[in-house]
Structure 1
Amino acid sequence: MILLSFTVRNHASIRDEITVDLMRPTLRTLKPRDGDWRAAAYPLVGIFGGNATGKSSVLDALHYVFGAIRQSATSWQDSRAMRRAPFQLDEAARDGSSSYELDFVHEGRRHLYGFEVDAEGIRREWLRDVPTSRWRTLLERDREENTLTFHASLRGRVEVTRRELVLSRALLLHDSPLHPVAFDLADSFDVVLVKDSHREARLSSIADALADGAISFADLETLLQAADIGVLKVDIEETNISDRARRLFQRFVRAVAKDGGAEDQVDGEAGDDSDDLDEDELAQVVRSLIFTHRGTSEECPPFSIRSESDGTIAWLATAVPALEALRSGGVLLVDEIDSSLHPHLLELLLGAFADPEVNTRQAQLIFTSHESYILSPLSDVTLEPEQVWFTDKSYEGVTELTCLADFPKHKDANVARRYLTGRYGGTPRLSPSSFAILVGDREG
């Protein structure tokens, strides 16, 4: 899958419709004349902005879409109401519907998939493609008109409840003609969050992947050595756990699984009952990573993950899914990519996605960041104006999204400096005097 654009309305701090566009300006038709979709879409998009301006809300909305495709036909059915996260600071938006739309390429063909949800469930759903030179409707669903129609080329029907997507149901039906599209969307997506619970779950999954052979020790050691953080060797430590610890761990797994969406109201990718551990799985050992560092003595003692720096943990939690995306393709979201990482490590990650000789599978990275270094002339990674987006928040608490390409172009302008001085918005409105008054009040 190659993502061309994403449009969302009424999600978290996003009230009004916004679109993140990954298409290059050279694409002026419905499809490239030479059929090269790789040259038509950017592999990198960065979203910059101050704290609480809604950068994470943009990624969370994407997280929600893929979570709905994966699970609205399964675990979401157990919820008492439709899982959603509308804008809360406006009554009309809070009670209204939310809409999401993906413009993407599947098996060399452009598709448009979207849906609209409200408190009752799925209000509308649609899927279109471009087989020749114009859009063709494959699926059209409208709750108000009580219609669910499919193109004649799609054999049979898909029965769904009011709170599940047709594409989510098709994901379970391997003989459905919509299954390949649903599977491509569900399988071509991963997200890296900055939350400690997410990082802990990611590191635990890395340890299990090492034990199962899904990731090689050599790969992980190479990633750590590429970051030059002094780790020579990686092992896994296995520990048997008590019955009480098993129950607590089961509870922890469920809690982490539900920690994937905006304000704990939505479930991005986990939370499915299939993620619960059965008794046989719980009887197994708990695995954790241990590291051997470079030192002066011949035999250096190994360190547990708890002894490692935040930078090492952040690098592993980000670099491993980045490596998987580069090897298999798809879309990777990374929230606060600069958190605990040196700017040169950021360049290493971004440069890998930007380099077509490395990124041979057309993987895409969408990240949020505060780091202005990426925008400066000092960075080795050059982002075109169309790859740089800024979030700001209005007086009403609404996230606004703008693209650097929308601003007047200044030859040889230092984008990083202009960003930090607020020329593009997205910078915090600070009040040093208020902070000083607080300090004075305390001293008095």
Structure 2
Amino acid sequence: MRLIRFAAENHKGLRDRAELDLTEPGLTTLRPKDGKTWDDSLHRVIGIFGANASGKSTVLDALQYMVSAVRNSATAWQAERRMVRSPFALDEKHRAAPSSYELEFILEDVRYEYGFRVGAAGIEEEWLRYVPRARWTNLFTRNHGRPGFFWGSEVKALGEVTGRELVLSRAVLTGHARLSGVGRAIAEDVGFAPLGDVHRGSRVSVIMDMLAKGAMTYDSVTTLLKVADIGINSVSIKETELPQREQELMKRINELLRGDSSRRKGRSVGEAEKVDEDTAATIMRSLEFSHCDGAGRPLRLYEESAGTISWLALAVPAIEALRTGTVLCVDEIDASLHSQLVDILVGMFEDRELNTKGAQMLFTSHDTYLLSNLTEHPLEPDQVWFTEKNVEGATELFSLDDFPRHRDANIARRYLAGRYGAVPRTAPSLLHRVFEESVSGRTEH
């Protein structure tokens, strides 16, 4: 999948419609012309910059919500008491209004547009159309104001769809001949790599599973670490078998979760259970790193720096995206990473010899290094987007391409000077008031 455009309205801080465009300036028609391909017509990297709490992450969160709705609205979301949604919360009007999401993308060299509107009661509108030749053709439409659905001539009716699930989500669940492939592409080809401590740990666990199953080689992981000049010359997995008593306890817990109570088997709950001989031993896995000096024991993951873990947790999904031609969304790409490592990641996606399948990366960042003349992989103005909150607390999304271009301009300097907006409105003078109040409070006591 390759993204063309994403838009959202009334999602958290995005009160008004916000649209992220990934097209090159030369694409003005429904399909590339003059011998060009989609590879020539779509950006592979988009960066979103802005102050803290300006809504950078919200743009990616809106896209993640859309992906999650296709994945889960026909399954896990059905168990929720209310429709899962996150409207703008700072005024009553928008809390009660529906939210909308739209995605244009390329799948198997065909252009699609998919969108839906969701309100408190459920799905109010949904549609999917594509461009088989020279014009848009509807595959299905759904409107809460009219009964039933409109199915295109090549789409077999899906059957019953509840008011709180998406057609595409139901199509994936039932394996619909025409629609399930589109739904799976949205659900599976857009990945997210948040870099908080909890998320880093889960991503490293995935890497360990990939190594254990042979889906990724130790040499590949070691090479990625050497690229970052972290001082690690090899990586390995240490496997430790849990003691027998812990294995018995885990088996007992699993039986209880399955409803396989020992009471029904005529045994007391407290009776120790023997582990079946054909039951595989429970294994604890942990990554170990050997450093270049060769001295001392290998270090465990928790002993490594946050930068090492962040690089590993991000570089591996980046490689997977390049291998599969999918989309990787990274929130706060500069968290615990040196600017030059972020530059390397951008270069991986921009390099057409590495990125042969048109993989794309969307990221948020505070790092003005990527906007400066120092970067080896400068972004074009239409690859740079900003977020800024207005006086009503709503996030506005806009592009550097909206501003006049200045030849040889130092974009980073102009950005920090506030020429494009999207910078903090700081008030350092207020620190004096905090200090004075603190001193006054201690004096009174």
TM-score where L is the length of structure 2:
0.89
Taking the aligned partners of 2:359 and 2:140, their CA distance within structure 1 comes to: 27
Contact 2:247-2:282 at 8 Å conserved across structures: no
- Among the aligned pairs, what percent are the same residue? 48
Contact 1:158-1:166 at 8 Å conserved across structures: no
1:148-192: per-residue Cα shift (whole Å, max 9, x none)?
111011134343111111111111233421111112222211101
Deviates more, 1:29-38 or 1:396-405: 29-38
Taking the aligned partners of 2:280 and 2:382, their CA distance within structure 1 comes to: 48
1:49-90: per-residue Cα shift (whole Å, max 9, x none)?
000000000000011111111111111111111111111101
Give how far 1:289 is off. 1.2
> Partner of 1:432: helix, strand, or coil?
coil
Q: Which runs of 5+ in 1 are unaligned?
A: 251-279
Q: Is 1:58 the equivalent of 2:59?
A: yes
1:237-294: per-residue Cα shift (whole Å, max 9, x none)?
23445379969x99xxxxxxxxxxxxxxxxxxxxxxxxxxxxx999732322111111
Taking the aligned partners of 2:319 and 2:86, their CA distance within structure 1 comes to: 31
What does residue 9 of structure 1 align with?
9
What does residue 355 of structure 1 align with?
351
Taking the aligned partners of 2:216 and 2:237, their CA distance within structure 1 comes to: 12
1:342-367: per-residue Cα shift (whole Å, max 9, x none)?
11111110001011111001000000
What does residue 335 of structure 1 align with?
331
What does residue 18 of structure 1 align with?
18
> Partner of 2:323: helix, strand, or coil?
helix
Taking the aligned partners of 1:29 and 1:111, their CA distance within structure 2 comes to: 14
TM-score where L is the length of structure 1:
0.89
Taking the aligned partners of 1:216 and 1:24, their CA distance within structure 2 comes to: 36
What does residue 167 of structure 1 align with?
168
Give how far 1:194 is off. 2.3
Deviates more, 1:200-209 or 1:327-336: 200-209
What does residue 282 of structure 2 align with?
284
Q: Is 1:309 the equivalent of 2:305?
A: yes
What does residue 153 of structure 1 align with?
154
Taking the aligned partners of 2:234 and 2:250, their CA distance within structure 1 comes to: 29
What does residue 96 of structure 2 align with?
95
Aligned AA (1:69): V
Question: How many residues end up aligned between the 2 structures?
Answer: 412
1:406-441: per-residue Cα shift (whole Å, max 9, x none)?
011111111000111111111111110112221233
Q: Which runs of 4+ in 1 moved over 6 A?
A: 280-283
Taking the aligned partners of 1:143 and 1:218, their CA distance within structure 2 comes to: 54
- The root-mean-square deviation of aligned C-alpha atoms, in Å, is 2.0
Task: Assess, with a 3 A threshold, how the Cα gap between structure 1 residues 79 and 239 changes in structure 2: closer, same or farther.
Answer: farther
Aligned AA (1:19): E
What does residue 78 of structure 2 align with?
77
Q: Is 1:183 the equivalent of 2:174?
A: no
> Partner of 1:238: helix, strand, or coil?
strand
Task: Assess, with a 3 A threshold, how the Cα gap between structure 1 residues 239 and 121 changes in structure 2: closer, same or farther.
Answer: farther
Return the index of the structure with the highest Cα Rg: 2
Q: Which runs of 5+ in 2 are unaligned?
A: 255-277, 441-445
Aligned match for 2:292, one of 271, 291, 294: 294
Any residues of structure 2 matched to 1:263-282 within 5 Å, and which?
Answer: none
Contact 2:158-2:171 at 8 Å conserved across structures: no
Taking the aligned partners of 2:121 and 2:247, their CA distance within structure 1 comes to: 41
Taking the aligned partners of 1:373 and 1:29, their CA distance within structure 2 comes to: 34
Taking the aligned partners of 2:14 and 2:400, their CA distance within structure 1 comes to: 19
Taking the aligned partners of 2:115 and 2:339, their CA distance within structure 1 comes to: 36
Contact 1:246-1:282 at 8 Å conserved across structures: no
Any residues of structure 2 matched to 1:39-438 within 5 Å, and which?
Answer: 39-240=40-241, 242=246, 284-295=282-293, 297=295, 300-438=296-434
> Partner of 2:429: helix, strand, or coil?
helix
> Partner of 1:82: helix, strand, or coil?
coil
